[in-house]
């Protein structure tokens, strides 16, 4: 995923539009709280074109940490020392984008009580804040160790490259590969293969 750093003047120019949301309407919760205006200054969220547009649907405070829930993605931070960049992941640890936040405004969430705070009328993110991904095709790799690779990954051919392809009865083709030890990009995060030589499978939709 490519990240775009918008200058402060650009964000001020878009402030009245509600960017990165489609509307400047306030985000209130069913528990009676108001999400800090300008708390999310920018965003780049993965969006499956066959699904629904991502929205900030809820916040959850637990153990002194805040989790922002954006559809199937979640991002967690410490409200006493908020990060400017909150990374979104699925429960399966699939990368889902980033939220660029205003740490000073997010510190106000420290006063919120513990528990789930659903947004009363969630606002979709605007198209400029979405990273469109195809509804079908290879989107991630799961190694035999259970480790998941997503985002900017690469298969290196050659000695440690593709081993074989297999056709299954469920109409999916499988490609067996060896993952060469090294660094694989996952958005802002990089991960290192844990084993010296671990195999992984990727699935493609093919009749």
Q: Average pLDDT, stretch 99-109?
A: 94
DSSP string spanning 83-119?
-SEEEEE-TT--EEEEEEE-HHHHGGGGGSPSEEEEB
Contact 86, 99 (CB under 8 A): yes
- pLDDT range class, residue 87, cuts 50, 70, 90: very high
Q: Average pLDDT, stretch 33-48?
A: 91
Q: What is the pLDDT of residue 195?
A: 31
* Structural tokens at position 11: 């964000």
User: Which of 47-51, 102-106, 137-141, 155-159 is least confident?
Assistant: 155-159
Helix then strand then coil, in percent of the chain rounded to 5, is 10, 45, 45
Domain boundaries, the chain: 8-133, 140-205
Q: Average pLDDT, stretch 67-74?
A: 94
* Structural tokens at position 23: 């509307």
At 83, phi and psi to the nearest 5? -85, 145
User: Taking the model in full, what pTM does it have?
Assistant: 0.63
Query: Average per-residue pLDDT in the chain?
Result: 74
Q: Could you report the per-residue pLDDT of 16-31, keeping only the tens digit for each?
A: 778 899 998 999 999 9
DSSP 19: T
């Amino acid at each position: 995923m490519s990240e775009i750093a918008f200058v402060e003047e650009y964000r001020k120019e878009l402030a009245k539009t509600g960017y990165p949301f489609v509307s400047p309407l306030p985000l209130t919760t069913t528990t009676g709280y108001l999400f800090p205006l300008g708390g999310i200054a920018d965003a780049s969220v993965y969006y499956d074109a066959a699904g629904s547009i991502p929205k900030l649907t809820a916040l959850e405070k637990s153990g002194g940490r805040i989790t922002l829930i954006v559809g199937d993605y979640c991002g967690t931070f410490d409200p006493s020392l908020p990060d400017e960049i909150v990374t979104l992941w699925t429960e399966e640890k699939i990368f889902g984008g980033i939220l660029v936040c205003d740490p000073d405004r997010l510190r106000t969430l420290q006063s919120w009580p513990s528990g789930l705070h659903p947004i009363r009328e969630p606002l979709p993110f605007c198209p400029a804040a979405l990273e469109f991904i195809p509804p079908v095709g290879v989107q991630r790799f799961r190694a035999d160790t259970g480790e998941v690779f997503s985002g900017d990954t690469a298969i290196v051919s050659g000695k440690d490259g593709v081993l074989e392809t297999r056709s299954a009865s469920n109409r999916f083709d499988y490609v067996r590969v060896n993952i060469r030890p090294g660094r694989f990009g996952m958005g802002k995060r990089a991960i290192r293969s844990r084993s010296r030589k671990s195999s992984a499978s990727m699935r493609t939709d093919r009749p």
